Amino acid sequence: MGVSVLSGKRILLGVTGGVAAYKAAVLARLLIRLGAQLTVVMTASAQRFVTPASFQALTGNRVHVDMWDERIADGMGHIELSRVSDFILVAPATTDFIARLAQGRADDLLAALCVARACPLWIAPAMNRQMWLHPATVRNVETITADGVRLLGPDAGVQACGEVGFGRMLEPEHIVAALEALLLPGGASPESSSSSEGLGYRLAGLDVLITAGPTFEPIDTVRGLTNRSSGKMGYAIAAAAQTAGARVTLVSGPTALSTPAGVTRLDVTTACEMFDAVMARAGAADVFIGVAAVADYRVAKVAAHKLKKTGVPPVLELVENPDILATVAALPDAPFCVGFAAETEDLHANAQAKRRRKQVPLLAANLAQEAFGRDDNALTLFDDAGEHVIARASKPAVARALLAHVAHLIGR
């Protein structure tokens, strides 16, 4: 195992008062094992869940709990502690702490350190799902994201209160993995390579409708016309949009993928079914992203039984399928529409022509042979301002970069 990018990093770990505070002890241990130097600051309520003694034992350093600590010689602890850190990580970050961050309050040591800092601030939210969904929390998260605070999570799952939903703190090992990704040189590069900042929570409250996967057009009861689309790109976009605060509906052709957490999925088979499912929901959508590889044609007459081999090759009559994207884009109150173009050659010319033909503000183009079925992708985005390249990266990273660009274009 190589040396972690966290080795030697001076981390100020803030712990606030949520049930997940006990997981901060595991997190501290993982970070120390990777060679990080940890200073822990606890809020008063955090100390109701875990004691400073635990963190002191784990880190070997004195835990800071008080703004008025007389042991700090010049009384300027809040400035000093944040200035000597490479970054501040608050895990767990409660609803109240996020609200205090949003207001720029400095009413305890940790909040003051966050305001006084000259280093990045990353937080791992942890709260009940209703608290996470509360409009005030949504506003506060938007505010702190705009202020440059970066969110790690939250995750979805069973909560301490027994409810199921978003708000769980990311598991300590996932927080560590996210930190390592952020600290790698160019760690956030797929996001910054589009003309926008990171995605954060910039789609909060929006309805996003996405199509993904192939369609399957039956010839008879067992055979059909389909294509090699795996659905991975569309599913990655659905997951990323959900994490960025959107309500996501995914209309999916046949794929082997599992539904991303928190996403509503509707399964369809044919292009016509996909058209109906999309048109029933397009009116309520703020953003529509057509990632599906929709069959252009279907078989005119589907045989009611499996076709027999007769010795005479059958001739299939095809009829054109409706163009879902172009139809949505032409709606009087159309959502912001994003099209995909999977080309096998002449990417630029074909993509630009497709953007004009379908009348969409943004078209994301890739080479089919370099995208279908793979776990990574590279996109060229075409919009009114020109072209933007999203460099090759994992599909989840490309999805975030694409959505950051969408957020930028819709003024988020």
Measuring CA to CA, which residue among 372, 365, 374, 373 is closest to residue 402?
Answer: 365
Q: Least distance (Å) from ligand C5P to the CB of residue 72? A: 59
Pairing of the two strands 318-320 and 336-343: unpaired
Least distance in angstroms from the C-beta of 373 to ligand C5P: 17
Of 85 and 252, nearer to ligand C5P (C-beta) is: 252
Q: How far is the CB of 270 from ligand C5P (least distance, A)?
A: 11
d(CA 379, CA 401): 10
Closer to ligand C5P by Cβ: residue 41 or 363: 363
Minimum Å gap between C-beta 331 and ligand C5P is 13
Name the burial class of residue 345, with classes exposed (0-12), middle (13-18) and buried (19+) by CB atoms within 10 angstroms of its CB: exposed
3-state secondary structure 76-88: CHHHHHHHCCCEE
> Where do we find the tokens 């209309």?
251
- Judged by the rule CB under 6 A, the positions of this chain that interact with ligand C5P are 211, 271, 290-292, 294, 296, 321, 323-325, 339-341, 354
Q: Shortest approach of ligand C5P to residue 240 CB, angstroms?
A: 17
Cβ–Cβ under 8 Å, residues 170 and 24:
no
CB of residue 334 to ligand C5P, shortest distance in Å: 13
Q: How many CB atoms lie within 10 A of CB 2?
A: 5
Report strand pairing: 247-252 vs 155-158.
unpaired
Alpha-carbon gap, residue 14 to 109, rounded angstroms: 10
Give whichever of 192 and 352 is closer to ligand C5P, judged by the CB atom.
352
161 catalytic? Reply is: yes
| Nearer residue to ligand C5P within complex by CB, 178 or 360 | 360
User: Angle at which helices 95-103 and 109-116 pack, to 10 degrees?
Assistant: 40
Q: How far is the CB of 340 from ligand C5P (least distance, A)?
A: 4
Maximum separation of any 2 CA atoms in the chain, in Å: 95
What sign for the dihedral angle of Cα 255, 261, 263, 264?
positive
Distance CA(151)–CA(400), nearest Å, equals 13
Q: Answer for the pair 353, 324: CB distance below 8 angstroms, yes or no.
A: no
Question: What is the token pair recorded at 339?
Answer: 């099209």
Nearest to 403 by CA among 347, 336, 352: 336
Catalytic pick from 119, 161, 272, 337?
A: 161
> In terms of CB distance, is 49 or 297 closer to ligand C5P?
297
Q: Give me the least distance between CB of 404 and ligand C5P, in Å please.
A: 19
Q: Which two tokens stand for residue 393?
A: 């990266």
* Residue with Cβ nearer ligand C5P (323 or 383): 323
219 burial level (CB within 10 Å; 0-12, 13-18, 19+): middle
Closest alpha carbon to 80 in 71, 101, 180: 71
Other beta carbons within 10 angstroms of residue 215's beta carbon come to: 28
Amino acid identity of 218?
Answer: P
Q: Using the minimum distance from each CB to ligand C5P, give the nearer residue, 41 or 271.
A: 271
Considering beta carbons, is residue 48 or 228 the nearer one to ligand C5P?
228
By annotation, the residues acting in catalysis are: 161
